[in-house]
Amino acid sequence: MPLEYKMLPLQYDFFKVKLSGIIPNSRVFTDPLRTLAYGTDASFYRLVPKIVIKAINENEVRDILACASIENLPVTFRAAGTSLSGQAISDSILVICSFGWRDIEVLNDAKHIKLQPGVIGASANAALRFHGKKIGPDPASINSAQIGGIVANNASGMCCGIDQNSYKTLKDMRVIFKDGTILDTSDEYSVKDFLESKSEMVKALEVMIKKVKDDETLYNKIKKKYAIKNTTGYSLNALIDFENIIDVISHLMIGSEGTLGFVSSVTYHTVEEPKVKASSLILFEDIYEACNFVSELKHNSSLVNAAELMDRASLRSVENKDGIDPRYKLLDEKVASVLVECGATNKDELESKMQSVVSISKVHKVVEEPIFYDKASDYAKLWAIRKGTFPSVGAMRQSGTTVIIEDVAFHIEDLATGVVELQELFKKYSYAEALIFGHALEGNIHFVFTQDFSSDDEIKRYELFMDDVCNLVAGKYNGSLKAEHGTGRNMAPFVEMEWGSDAYALIKEIKNIFDPTNMLNPGVIVNDDPKAHIKDLKTMTAFNPIADKCIECGFCEPVCPSKDFTLTPRQRIVVQREIQRLKDSNDSRYKKLESLYKFDGEKTCAVDGLCATACPVDINTGTLTKDIRAKSGNAFSKKLASTISKRFGETVFLARQGFKFLNFIEFFMGPVGMRIIGDVIPRFPYWYDYMPRVAKYKKTQESQNFDKNVVYFSSCVNRAFGASKKAKDKRDINQVVESLLKKAKYNVIYPKDDKSLCCGVPFESKGFKKEADEQLDILLAQLFEASNNGEFPVLCDSSPCTYRIREGLKKMDIKVLEPIEFSLTYLVPQLKIKQSNESIVLHTTCSSKKMKLDEKFENLAKILSTDVTIPININCCGFAGDRGFNHPELNKSALTGLKEQIKPDVSRGFSTSKTCEIGLSHHGERDYSSILYLLDECS
Ligand SMILES: Cc1cc2nc3c(=O)[nH]c(=O)nc-3n(C[C@H](O)[C@H](O)[C@H](O)COP(=O)(O)OP(=O)(O)OC[C@H]3O[C@@H](n4cnc5c(N)ncnc54)[C@H](O)[C@@H]3O)c2cc1C
Ligand code: SF4
Ligand code: SF4
């Protein structure tokens, strides 16, 4: 029985009934937690859908549209929900088309790529990288934004300009219209059917096209508006750019924000990656000079791929970050910078481009002679400055405020004066913290400021400011109010102002031709309410300093193992914010949310913290979960944790005995039988196919007389769990380590009380911080002693434990390494290695990723094997320490798609964490073990 705040309106009940039997209930959500969480996007608007549906194929989308049509209910489509203008939200039916829509087909020698709408932009590029190609659109959100949203927003970024966006690089598209009609532009039969069945739509569009082509003023207006980036209104350029009506329709879909139909696949022309690149951050005496420099570059546009403007406030916002030139702090208040990138097919061409840029810059009052960097590691630092500007405002803002990013474009000749006048508006409305940066080469600039929406006065200030901005950009300079983020609800009231009544009439007519009943994403692009942009504003209630800086951008979602199962990090934070808001206003509905959050938010968070690696404001939602667990633990569990902590050695011993007994039963029942027992007995661990044997943890050290020493700490998990019964090598890991160290001529030193030591991870992950820290302190003291006060290196055989130990090491000088780094530093150089021909698959654990060891792991694996597979989009495995034994669904969801990516000839996988290996073996259907086993075999 779903827990609903209140009954659904009757039509929604009818809709649900119609849909039952078509879409399983497990993908239809009406409860207050999921509707709120899934309904949130990155904009500062909040609408909570009545129903959320995760649709996984075209038939389902068509059925949803048909049922909604009968009940006359609005439908909004959703990809990654990173939109900023309020176009991916709904208070009616939200259809998420992400899971199940992730197919990628690289076609015709990578000249083309066919993508489903749930493919993340960066995944498409990963599939093309090997061919030296990429997709054209390059929004800054490309690591999370999905193709459906990239196409429907006509998103673009630093390099793609107006020539490589979705509009310009579209080859083919498959669309589902409101009445279920499908048009596949790559299929002549589909086109023929469409032209016959939708002859009225075609006719209406042809009349409109003729009208525009006959009206010189309107025609020229459209031409001029698309000389710069523009995503305000529909892509009216489609009416004048194409002769073929099918091309007109497919290009009208670009940037239509889900208001004209559903894009079920897209085929792009791919674009070339430059073979060599170099970047320079050029400083100018003031922003006017910087803009004029960019204008001149524009007239020599083949010289640079990108020219990113950053005002003084932007530079100031990142001046304290690691790797930023300390001289930036001393720059004059008026200084502005332009970050340029040159790209070429060879070094000579690159050199000549760089020289030309330097010559042009010198005409424009540069602060110092520009320096170009052509080494990836060097120019990445410059781009980190640019990418850090927006998040830095988010991170510095006051709790409870929203960070707003606006997105306008001037014609290049107006850029300098337009930007200066914008800065005056910041002063007029007291947005002292506002900063300006952006893709100046296209006249496109973003300005970022913080806004409080909790009082009427503040909302008024925003409203008046935006009125002035629109008058300046669209009224005075005929620029674009939305250059790349889409119109949404935010600019819908200003579309007519920007376009004029003649063109606005076209926009309304287009909507009417495709969606006469206004069923698809109403309120977006076309909206008669002049105040729509200041309605349904989000509140950002402060609830916990760990996550109060969250800007709800959604960048953390792709890496989260629970994303397709329960909640993502962003959604966890959104729900916590709402619980706090309800509590603050004495609204008892928070209790329902809290009870639902227990499983969806708390229990199914793997606390791996991988989300922090993708978060622009460094939020670790795992830390938030641990905090929530700590606060919610009852007296009994606290007492139990304290007892276990004090008697950890005995606890591990008992656990091993218990596990030995279970191994014994499995001998008769098999894994399936064990799972049946688990279905009957509560708290019985989920039994995986590759469940390990109990480890003997026998130390076979012979007397060793080598010159060098290594301290070896075997984690409690490795002391308890040995190899699986299906493993090729059945030794315990400590025997493998001993063998390796002996071959590399190191004496092995075990810490004194090794059998009772623990780094504290099992306690910390459950919120028992005190016990976790006590365990860590004991361990560190013993490692310090065993390593002769830090003289000898320490090998820990598990990455998650090493990560935690290293966190504690801030207090102490000991060198603790996990298997990857230890192997590369201390073993590989000492061993004679024979590379194996065996094909293998790798899994890099979250902890290794957080320690930035991905590349090193790949290098190590390639030393050992000639054929290494690293599956894409498999991030955290979701086993989460021991949680995988109680919540196997999380592990299953996180590893969806793993097996399919492993080649048939691969029989073994390698990683660096025992519990992760249990789940990986089960879902990958091959035995996974520590990479140390392979190293021992090859040496
Ligand atoms: C920090 C930050 C930086 C950003 N930087 C940029 C940038 O540099 N450039 C840029 O252009 N944008 C940027 N954006 C905005 C946004 O990320 C992009 O526009 C992105 O392309 C949206 O993709 P999405 O998958 O999140 O789509 P969503 O937000 O889920 O949806 C976007 C629109 O597409 C519609 N839609 C989704 N799927 C379909 C479908 N299959 N068929 C039809 N309609 C569909 C939705 O209804 C909605 O109207 C940024 C956002 C953030 C938070
Ligand atoms: S946690 Fe970070 S990445 Fe995730 S939504 Fe919040 S700010 Fe964005
Ligand atoms: S800690 Fe892991 S499971 Fe939890 S929110 Fe972050 S990425 Fe998701």
Is there an atom of ligand 3 within 6 Å of 846 CB?
A: no
Quickly count: other Cβ atoms within 10 Å of residue 423's Cβ.
Answer: 18
Is there an atom of ligand 3 within 6 Å of 621 CB?
A: yes
Q: Which of 465, 516, 460, 470 is nearest to 491 (CA)?
A: 470
CA of 276 to the centre of ligand 1 (A): 30
| Residue owning the nearest CA to atom 9 of ligand 1 | 139
**Do residues 304 and 340 lie in contact, with contact meaning Cβ atoms separated by under 8 Å?**
yes
**Looking up tokens 């989308």, which residue turns up?**
61
Q: Which of 182, 193, 154 is nearest to 170 (CA)?
A: 154
Q: Which of 440, 435, 444 is nearest to 388 (CA)?
A: 435
Ligand closest to Cα of 445 equals 1
Q: Which of 24, 16, 84 is nearest to 49 (CA)?
A: 16
Task: Please state, in angstroms and rounded to a whole number, the distance separating the CA atoms of residues 475 and 469.
Answer: 9
**Do residues 259 and 511 lie in contact, with contact meaning Cβ atoms separated by under 8 Å?**
yes
CA of 3 to the centre of ligand 2 (A): 27
- How does strand 908-911 pair with strand 927-930? parallel
Is there an atom of ligand 1 within 6 Å of 97 CB?
A: yes
Using DSSP's 3-state secondary structure scheme, residue 410 falls into coil
pLDDT at 6: 64
Backbone angles phi, psi at 172, to 5 degrees: -140, 160
Q: Burial of 193 by CB count in 10 Å (0-12 exposed, 13-18 middle, 19+ buried)?
A: middle
pLDDT at 701: 64
**Looking up tokens 């490795």, which residue turns up?**
718
Ligand closest to Cα of 144 equals 1
Chain centroid, CA 510 distance in Å: 33
Atom of ligand 1 nearest to the CA of 486: 19
Q: Which residues contact 683 (CB under 8 A, 6 or more apart)?
A: 886
Helix (H) or strand (E) holding 61: helix 58-71
Task: Please state, in angstroms and rounded to a whole number, the distance separating the CA atoms of residues 192 and 183.
Answer: 9
**Do residues 335 and 285 lie in contact, with contact meaning Cβ atoms separated by under 8 Å?**
yes
Is there an atom of ligand 3 within 6 Å of 414 CB?
A: no
Is there an atom of ligand 2 within 6 Å of 569 CB?
A: yes
Chain centroid, CA 315 distance in Å: 25
Task: Please state, in angstroms and rounded to a whole number, the distance separating the CA atoms of residues 781 and 785.
Answer: 6
Ligand closest to Cα of 879 equals 3
| Residue owning the nearest CA to atom 22 of ligand 1 | 149
Is there an atom of ligand 2 within 6 Å of 80 CB?
A: no
Ligand closest to Cα of 559 equals 3
pLDDT at 3: 43
The vertex-922 CA angle with 688 and 916, nearest 5°, equals: 90
For residue 202, the one-letter residue type is V
Is there an atom of ligand 3 within 6 Å of 611 CB?
A: yes
CA of 546 to the centre of ligand 2 (A): 11
Is there an atom of ligand 1 within 6 Å of 601 CB?
A: no
Using DSSP's 3-state secondary structure scheme, residue 419 falls into helix
Quickly count: other Cβ atoms within 10 Å of residue 217's Cβ.
Answer: 9
- Global pTM reads 0.91
Q: What is the pLDDT of residues 142-160, one digit of tens each?
A: 999 999 999 999 999 988 8
Tokens of 207: 């009349």
Q: Burial of 554 by CB count in 10 Å (0-12 exposed, 13-18 middle, 19+ buried)?
A: buried
Successive 10-residue mean pLDDT values, the chain, 939 residues: 63 94 94 97 96 97 97 97 97 96 96 98 94 94 96 93 95 98 97 97 97 96 95 98 97 98 98 92 93 90 89 86 81 92 93 94 91 88 82 80 92 92 94 90 91 92 96 96 96 96 97 98 97 94 94 94 95 98 95 96 93 92 93 72 75 76 71 72 77 86 82 93 91 95 95 90 83 91 94 96 88 89 97 96 95 95 96 88 85 92 94 94 95 97
312-349 b/e (C-beta count within 10 Å ≥ 16 → b) = bbbbbbbbeeeebeeebeebeeebbbbbbbbbbeeeee
Tokens of 64: 């949803």
User: Computed over its alpha carbons, how large is the radius of gyration of the chain?
Assistant: 29
Query: In sequence order, what are the beta bridge partners of 447?
Result: 406, 436
CA of 202 to the centre of ligand 2 (A): 43
Is there an atom of ligand 1 within 6 Å of 95 CB?
A: no
**Do residues 313 and 405 lie in contact, with contact meaning Cβ atoms separated by under 8 Å?**
no
Q: Which of 614, 283, 316, 327 is nearest to 436 (CA)?
A: 316
Task: Please state, in angstroms and rounded to a whole number, the distance separating the CA atoms of residues 714 and 651.
Answer: 16
**Do residues 831 and 802 lie in contact, with contact meaning Cβ atoms separated by under 8 Å?**
no
Tokens of 597: 């959050």
CA of 557 to the centre of ligand 1 (A): 14
Ligand closest to Cα of 489 equals 1
pLDDT at 2: 38
Task: Please state, in angstroms and rounded to a whole number, the distance separating the CA atoms of residues 713 and 736.
Answer: 13
DSSP 235-301: -TTHHHH-SSHHHHHHHHHTT-TTSS-EEEEEEEEPEEPPSEEEEEEEEESSHHHHHHHHHHHHHTG
Backbone angles phi, psi at 265, to 5 degrees: -165, 160
**Do residues 548 and 542 lie in contact, with contact meaning Cβ atoms separated by under 8 Å?**
yes
21-34 b/e (C-beta count within 10 Å ≥ 16 → b) = eebeeeebbbbbbb
pLDDT at 727: 92
Task: Please state, in angstroms and rounded to a whole number, the distance separating the CA atoms of residues 645 and 757.
Answer: 10
Q: Which of 238, 310, 235, 232 is nearest to 485 (CA)?
A: 232
Q: What is the pLDDT of residues 488-543, one digit of tens each?
A: 999 999 999 999 999 999 999 999 999 999 999 999 999 999 999 999 999 899 99
Atom of ligand 2 nearest to the CA of 394: 7
The vertex-553 CA angle with 551 and 554, nearest 5°, equals: 130
The vertex-268 CA angle with 897 and 86, nearest 5°, equals: 80
DSSP 145-166: -BHHHHHHTT---TTTTTTSSH
Q: Which of 129, 121, 202 is nearest to 169 (CA)?
A: 121
**Looking up tokens 């983020």, which residue turns up?**
485
Is there an atom of ligand 3 within 6 Å of 610 CB?
A: yes
